[in-house]
Structure 1
Amino acid sequence: MRIPFVKMHGLGNDFVILDSRERDLPTLPAEAIAALADRRTGIGCDQLVRLETSGSAAADFRMRIFNADGGEVGACGNASRAVALLHGTPARIETDGGIISVRPSDGGIAVDIGAPRFAWDAVPLAYAMDTLAMPVAWGNLEKPAAVNVGNPHAVFFVDRQEEIRLEDLGPEIENDPLFPERINVNVATVTDRATIALRVWERGAGLTRACGTGACATAVAAMRRRLVDHDVTVNLPGGALRIEWAGDGQITMSGPAQESFRGEFALQDYL
């Protein structure tokens, strides 16, 4: 069986998108997703995204997101923008992290990703603690903020984020028993009241050029600590995202997305 796909990216965070809304496509096992994501022997991607019809009257369709290791996650901001571009019109999308709204904007695509959650058991953490400044450390990274924006994030604020060896500390923090569902790891430097520089170790994917939910989590954490104002630009290795949050209600993320190419693959080649 040959399966059609669309390859897209948001600031270099790239996706293989399978659209099963009008054509019945098989559900891929984790090992096939991991094989497709391999950049040497597969198509190559950070996440595989599957579009399905939604069982909710509140949503136009459903989006499922699988990391490069085959594990399913609740949300991906950059994938949301890519799917919005592919869909072409404003939409409400059901995800495992909740229903989100997408629409065209001056900055490309705007995504209302929902309200952040700060309770320790909503992140989730293994036990109760202050999520604004957690009393924990790994190497020279300490006192992170924790927030769930459809998936869990730990945010570390440092003087020079580019000097942090995230490729070493990222896997250690991601898999710490403190995080029962693992964690996305963000290291950020506040440049001024309207600008943040950020790098992200994404659970199940590793270092990534951009992470939309990571940008949202980092911006919200910085706002809660009163380090920035409520409308900020987050600069990632792949480019910039605009994040707005009034302190309650939904986070709005705006930024570009782009189609790379289309093709098809034989499923048996990846099983």
Structure 2
Amino acid sequence: MSIQFVKYHGLGNDFILVDNRHSSDPCLTPEQAIDWCDRHFGIGADGVIFALPGQAGTDYTMRIFNSDGSEPEMCGNGIRCLARFIADLEGKGSSTVSYQIHTLAGVMVPKLQADGQVTVDMGLPRLLASEIPTTLTAPDDKVVNQTLEVTGQTWEVTCVSMGNPHCITFVDDVASIPLEAIGPQFEHHAAFPQRTNTEFIQVVSPDYLKMRVWERGAGITLACGTGACASLVAAVLTGRSNRRATVELPGGCLDIEWSDDQRLYMTGPATRVFVGEWVG
């Protein structure tokens, strides 16, 4: 089996992109994606993204397998990389162009900017416990400043869904968080029936947040676009930030805006790293 691929990253959150426009089903199995993502015995990535034909009137469909073989609903850094990949496939790499992308979290609209950045209309945040989902409070209530016990410690958390679940907690110093030890405990906590992404946020100022993330299905990553969006929403809901802020992640910065129309807009880079061929 020979498959062409292109490696991209969004602030160090790296993905293998595959041109899958010939079929509505991914050309790899989740087990094969695990092999591809292995950083010692494979290509190495946080996930494999497939560009499939559009559906329900969209231009393309996005599917993604995480490095553990699970399939998330969406990926913010990943969809910026997908938009750049599609533009390169179409010979529009230097153009200002937008796409309607069907995802398991709904339709997303990334737009390539003249400066090389990509802005994505990430849609509306979902705030009710049943939408996240979590059992931390009643299904029709928002999950704001709720207590959660993890590894014998009580944390105050706010939860947001961007089509995928996020659990956000605010801390004085993100660098001091033992992420590798407690990240899995949050992800697999019984309060989250579909597991959860977990963000630890340090508020530097109302328009500047520092973030570290444990991603569901991928572990520690250098950036998470949906997590940055969810974290800004949580910061606004708890009175900690403005509706537009820079979110600093280990891999770099994203510009996040929760606009007056209640939609979230994420702007950041998508960088091509190399082109290759898998021969298996």
TM-score (norm 2): 0.91
Deviations 1:193-221 (CA, angstroms, capped at 9, x unpaired): 10000000001101000111111110111
Query: How many angstroms does 1:22 deviate by?
Result: 4.1
Query: How many angstroms does 1:136 deviate by?
Result: 1.5
Question: Which of 118, 126, 129 is residue 117 of structure 1 equivalent to?
Answer: 126
Deviations 1:119-144 (CA, angstroms, capped at 9, x unpaired): 10100013634511122232446111
Once residues 158 and 149 of structure 2 are traced to their aligned partners in structure 1, the CA distance between those partners, rounded to angstroms, is 11
Once residues 254 and 199 of structure 1 are traced to their aligned partners in structure 2, the CA distance between those partners, rounded to angstroms, is 18
Once residues 169 and 112 of structure 2 are traced to their aligned partners in structure 1, the CA distance between those partners, rounded to angstroms, is 31
Question: Which of 147, 150, 172 is residue 135 of structure 1 equivalent to?
Answer: 147
**Counterpart position of 2:224:** 211
**Counterpart position of 2:186:** 173
Once residues 255 and 210 of structure 1 are traced to their aligned partners in structure 2, the CA distance between those partners, rounded to angstroms, is 11
Does 1:81 find its partner at 2:94? no
CA contact (8 A) 2:80 2:120 kept: yes
Partner AA of 2:164 in structure 1: N
- Name the SS for the 1:135 alignment partner: strand
Question: Which of 69, 74, 92 is residue 100 of structure 2 equivalent to?
Answer: 92
CA contact (8 A) 2:17 2:85 kept: no
Once residues 14 and 211 of structure 1 are traced to their aligned partners in structure 2, the CA distance between those partners, rounded to angstroms, is 10
Partner AA of 1:126 in structure 2: T
Once residues 93 and 212 of structure 1 are traced to their aligned partners in structure 2, the CA distance between those partners, rounded to angstroms, is 16
Once residues 200 and 12 of structure 1 are traced to their aligned partners in structure 2, the CA distance between those partners, rounded to angstroms, is 13
Distance 1:265 1:53, change over 3 A: same
State percent identity of aligned pairs: 40
Query: How many angstroms does 1:25 deviate by?
Result: 7.7
Once residues 132 and 247 of structure 1 are traced to their aligned partners in structure 2, the CA distance between those partners, rounded to angstroms, is 20
Once residues 255 and 61 of structure 1 are traced to their aligned partners in structure 2, the CA distance between those partners, rounded to angstroms, is 21
Partner AA of 2:277 in structure 1: E
List structure 1 segments (4+ residues) > 6 angstroms apart after TM superposition. Answer: none
Long gaps (5+) in structure 2: 88-96
Query: How many angstroms does 1:40 deviate by?
Result: 0.1
Deviates more, 1:135-144 or 1:174-183: 135-144
- Name the SS for the 1:244 alignment partner: strand
Query: How many angstroms does 1:82 deviate by?
Result: 0.7
Once residues 273 and 175 of structure 2 are traced to their aligned partners in structure 1, the CA distance between those partners, rounded to angstroms, is 28
TM-score (norm 1): 0.94
Once residues 15 and 72 of structure 1 are traced to their aligned partners in structure 2, the CA distance between those partners, rounded to angstroms, is 14
CA contact (8 A) 1:107 1:254 kept: no
**Counterpart position of 2:66:** 67
RMSD: 1.6
**Counterpart position of 1:196:** 209
